[in-house]
Structure 1
Amino acid sequence: MDDVAVRPMRRDDAEAILAIYQAGLDSGDASFETTAPTWTEFDAGRLPEHRYVAVDDSGTVLGWVAVSAVSTRRVYAGVVEHSVYVDPARQGRGVARLLLTTLIAATETAGIWTIQSGVFPENVASLALHTRMGFRVVGTRERVGRQHGRWRDVVLLERRSPAII
C-alpha cells in the first residue's frame, strides 16, 4: 500500500466519490439505495470532519469513508454510522482497511466512542473486514427492507472504542 495515501475528502473529489458509490450500489449488496445522491445531498448527510479518500500516486480516488450522526440528541454525540466504498478495480487490496484505520483514529481523537454500520449478510468481504477491524455483530434485522422486490436482512455492527470509556 506504499502507493496509496489517505487524505481528507474535498469538494473536487465529488465526481469520483459518487462514481465509486454508484458502482457499489450497482453490486446490489452495498445498500438499499439504488442511485447515488447528488453531491449536495451527500455533503449534507455526512459530518464534514470525518470524511476521507484513499488516493494513488497520481491522485486518483480509490475509495472513500464518511460518517453520519445517528441522532441529534446529545446523549448520542459520540455515536456515528459509517460507510466505506472502494472502486471495484481496487477491492481486496487493503484500501478499505486503510480508510477504516484512518477513520477509527480520527473519531477516537474527536471523542467518538461508537462507530456503527449495517451490512447485508451476503457482503461477506465487508463483514470479514469489519470483524478484523474490531467491529462486532450486535444483531441482525431480519427482513427489514425490500430491494428489487426481495426482502433483505441487515447485520448490525459496532466498534466501541477501547480508548474512550
Structure 2
Amino acid sequence: MPDVTVRPMTAADARRVLSIYQAGLDGGHASFETTAPTWAVFDAGRLPDHRFVAVDAGGRVVGWVAVSPTSTRAVYAGVVEHSVYVDPAAQGRGAARLLLDALVASTEAAGIWTIQSGVFPENAASLALHERAGFRAIGVRERVARHHGRWRDVVLLERRSPVIV
C-alpha cells in the first residue's frame, strides 16, 4: 500500500479509530466485544507507546494497532496482547501488515518479547496475515466465551521476538 504511512496514534484519531473498531465488531469475526468502548476506556486500557494508525495519502486514518498488558505481574512485563483493525474499504491492500511491522519494531525496542492475540478460527484473513508477520498458532481455546449467544473458539497466536533473548 504505497499511499499509506504509519504514525503514532493520538487522541485526535479517536473518532476514526473507534469507528474502524466498530466496523470490525459489526463484521462478527473480530472480537467477543460487540460495541466499541469510549475513547477514555480505550485509552486507559492500551499502552501509550505502542499505538499506531495507518493513514492514506489523503490523511484519513484507515487502520490501527495497539497493545494491552496481559498481566500486572512484573514477570509478564514483556508480554502484551494486540489488536489490529483496518477499515473494511481499505482491507487487503497491506495496511494491517504495515501496522504489525510498526508494532513489532516498537515493542522489540522496548524489550517486549511476546505479542499475543486471540483470533476467531473463521477469520482466515487475520490468521494468514499474522502467519506472514511471524506469528504462530500455539493452540485453540475451545468454547472460551459466548458471542451473540453461541460458544466460540479462539486461536491463540503469539510472536516471540528473535532479538529479545
Moved over 4 A (4+): none
CA RMSD of aligned residues (A): 0.5
* Amino acid in the other structure paired with 1:125: A
The aligned residue for residue 163 of structure 1 is 163
**Partner residue, 1:138:** 138
Partner of 1:40: 40
TM-score of the two chains, using structure 1 as the length reference: 0.99
Rounded Cα–Cα distance in structure 1 between residues aligned with 2:56 and 2:127: 25
Identity, in percent, stands at 76
What amino acid is the match of 2:84? Answer: V
Structure 1: runs of 5 or more not aligned = none
Distance in structure 2 (CA, Å) of the matches to 1:133 and 1:102:
11
CA distance in 2, matches of 1:58, 1:131: 30
Matched positions, count:
165
Deviations for 1:111-156, whole angstroms, at most 9, x for unmatched residues? 0000000000000000001011110111100001111111100000
SS class of match (2:22): helix
- 2:81 corresponds in structure 1 to 81
Aligned equivalents of 1:96 and 1:121: distance in 2? Answer: 18
Matched residue of 1:32: which SS?
A: coil
User: 1:37, CA displacement in angstroms?
Assistant: 0.1
SS in 2 for 1:131: helix
- Give per-residue Cα distances to partners, 1:52-103, cap 9 Å, x unaligned: 0000122100000000000111100100000000000000110000000010
Aligned partners of 1:77 and 1:86: how far apart in 2?
Answer: 27
